[in-house]
Chain A
Amino acid sequence: MKNRNKTLLLPLNIVRTPNSNLVLLRAVLNKEFTRIDFGYIAIDYYVRGGWIRISSETYLRVKGEQIKYVLTHAENIPIAPEVHHFESTKDWQYFSLFFPPIPQHDCVIDIIEEENPDDNDFNYYGIQLDMSAAEEVIQH
Chain B
Amino acid sequence: MPINKKAYRRYKVIDACLRNKMRPFPTIQDLIDAMEEKLDVNTTVDTIQKDIAAMKLPSPDGFDAPIKFNRSKMGYEYTDPDFAISGVSLNSIDIDAIKEAIDIINSIGGSRVSEKFSHAVEKMLSSVREDLSPQARDRKIIQTDAITDARGFEHFDLFFSACRERIPVNFVHYSYSKRKFKTITLHPVVLKEFENRWYVIGHSETHDQLRTFGFDRIYGPEILRKTFIETPAHVSESYLNDVYGVFPLRDGEREQIIIHTSPLITNYFRAQKIHPSQHIQINKYGDALISFELIPSMELARLFISYGNQLKVKAPERLVKFIESYRS
Q: Is B117 an interface residue (CB 8 A)?
A: no
> Which B126-167 residues sit within 8 Å CB-CB of chain A?
158, 167
- Type the 1/0 row for A103-140, where 1 means its CB is closer than 8 Å to any CB of B: 00000000000000000000000000000000111101
Residues of A within 8 A of B (CB): 9, 11-13, 23, 25-26, 28, 37, 39, 41, 90, 92, 94, 96, 135-138, 140
Which of B167, B174, B181, B224 has the most chain A CB within a 10 Å cutoff? Answer: B181
Find out whether the CB atom of B181 lies under 8 angstroms from the CB atom of A94. yes
The listed residue (A28, A92, A94, A140) touching B179 by CB distance below 8 A is A92
Q: Taking CB as reference atom, which chain B residue is nearest A76?
A: B219
- 7 further A-B pairs in the complex, CB-CB below 8 A; given A39-B181, A92-B174: A23-B181, A41-B181, A94-B172, A135-B170, A136-B224, A137-B170, A138-B224
B225 adjacent to A136 (CB under 8 Å): yes
Given contacts A137-B225, A138-B224, A140-B158, contact A12 B179 (CB under 8 A): no
Q: Does chain A have a CB within 8 A of B185?
A: yes
B108 located at the interface, meaning its Cβ lies under 8 Å from any Cβ of chain A in the complex: no
> Can you offer 29 A-B residue contacts whose CB atoms are under 8 A?
A9-B222, A9-B224, A11-B183, A11-B185, A12-B183, A13-B182, A23-B181, A25-B172, A25-B183, A26-B170, A28-B222, A37-B219, A37-B220, A39-B219, A41-B181, A90-B179, A92-B179, A94-B174, A94-B181, A94-B219, A96-B220, A135-B185, A135-B225, A136-B224, A137-B222, A137-B223, A137-B224, A137-B225, A138-B223
In whole angstroms, how far apart are the Cα atoms of A67 and B27 in the complex?
A: 83
- The reply on B71 being an interface residue by CB < 8 A is no
List, in ascending order, chain A residues with CB within 8 A of B180's CB.
23, 41
Mostly helix, strand, loop or mixed at chain B's interface?
strand
Instruction: List chain A residues, Cβ under 8 A from B172.
Output: 25-26, 37, 39, 94
A60 to chain B, nearest CB (A): 19
Taking Cβ atoms with an 8 Å cutoff, the residues of B that contact A are 158, 167, 170, 172, 174, 179-183, 185, 219-220, 222-226
**Cα distance A26–B181 when bound, in Å?**
11
Chain A residue numbers with a CB within 8 Å of B183 are 11-13, 25-26
Q: Are B167 and A138 interface neighbours, CB within 8 A?
A: yes
Residues of A within 8 A of B170 (CB): 9, 11, 26, 135, 137
| Interchain CA distance A135-B185 in the complex, whole Å | 10
Given A26-B170, A37-B172, the answer on whether A136 and B181 have CB atoms closer than 8 Å is: no
Closest to A137 in B: B222
Which residues of B sit under 8 angstroms from A26, Cβ to Cβ? Answer: 170, 172, 183, 220
CA–CA, A140 to B225, complex, Å? 12
A94 to B158: give the CA distance in the assembly, Å. Answer: 19
Which residues of B have CB within 8 Å of A41? 179-181
Provide the residues of chain A in CB contact with B226, threshold 8 Å. Answer: 135-136
Q: Output the nearest chain B residue to A10 by Cβ-Cβ distance.
A: B183
**4 closest pairs, A vs B, by CB?**
A39-B181, A11-B183, A94-B219, A136-B225
Q: How close is B53's CB to chain A, nearest CB, in angstroms?
A: 51
Chain B's closest residue to A95 (CB) is B219
Bound together, the chains give a CA A31 to CA B223 distance in angstroms of 18
Beta-carbon nearest neighbor of B174 in chain A = A92
Contact A138 B225 (CB under 8 A): yes
Chain A nearest CB from B217 CB (Å) reads 10
